[in-house]
């Protein structure tokens, strides 16, 4: 085991700086994407936190958002995560409506895979992630936490 890799897992956000320090090249486009992501995350968090969403429902972002690589051309891969209960209740519908207002508008619609832009239950995560039938599709859910 490479002992340096264990340390890097404790601070994944600093990976770009470590890479740049070890290998020399400046990676300015990734730095700009990280800055843009942080700015947009702050905006969307502020917009969504101003709304009344129950604590067992979350709006999660994936893909370039989660990797902190968001650009003006990125799509908005998002999902409403429901910890327990009805995935079609009025609170869930409201969370989906809010996500649609603030994410995935215009050309930024969620990817065409059919995974994002809707509701995912945590039970569904438990049933799909880390099992024999894992696929690229099902492990895309793995970044979400319930």
- The domain in which residue 119 lies consists of 15-143
CATH of the domain at 101: 3.30.460
Residue 81 is inside which H or E element, if any? strand 78-82
Q: Is residue 105 part of a domain?
A: yes
- How far apart (Å, rounded) are the C-alpha atoms in residues 4 and 14? 13
Of 93 and 22, which is predicted with more confidence? 93
pTM: 0.70
- How far apart (Å, rounded) are the C-alpha atoms in residues 97 and 122? 20
Least confident of 3-7, 72-76, 109-113: 3-7
Is residue 107 within 8 A of residue 128, CB to CB? The reply is: no
- How far apart (Å, rounded) are the C-alpha atoms in residues 32 and 103? 20
- 30-46 tens-digit pLDDT: 888 889 999 999 999 99
Total count of domains within the chain = 1
DSSP assigned state of 106 = G
Q: Is residue 6 part of a domain?
A: no
Longest dimension (CA), the chain: 52
């Amino acid at each position: 085991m490479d002992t340096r890799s264990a340390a890097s897992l404790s601070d994944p956000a600093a990976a770009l700086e470590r890479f740049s320090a070890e290998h020399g090249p400046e990676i300015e486009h990734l730095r700009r994407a990280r800055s843009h992501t942080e700015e947009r995350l702050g905006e969307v968090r502020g917009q969504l936190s101003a709304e009344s969403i129950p604590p067992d429902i979350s709006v999660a972002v994936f893909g370039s958002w989660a990797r902190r690589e968001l650009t003006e051309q990125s799509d908005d891969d998002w999902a409403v995560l429901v910890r327990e209960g009805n995935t079609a209740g009025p609170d869930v519908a409201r969370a989906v409506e809010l996500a649609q207002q603030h994410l995935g508008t215009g050309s930024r619609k969620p990817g065409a895979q059919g995974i994002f832009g809707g509701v995912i239950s945590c039970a569904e995560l438990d049933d799909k992630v880390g099992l024999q039938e894992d696929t690229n599709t099902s492990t895309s859910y793995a970044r979400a936490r319930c």
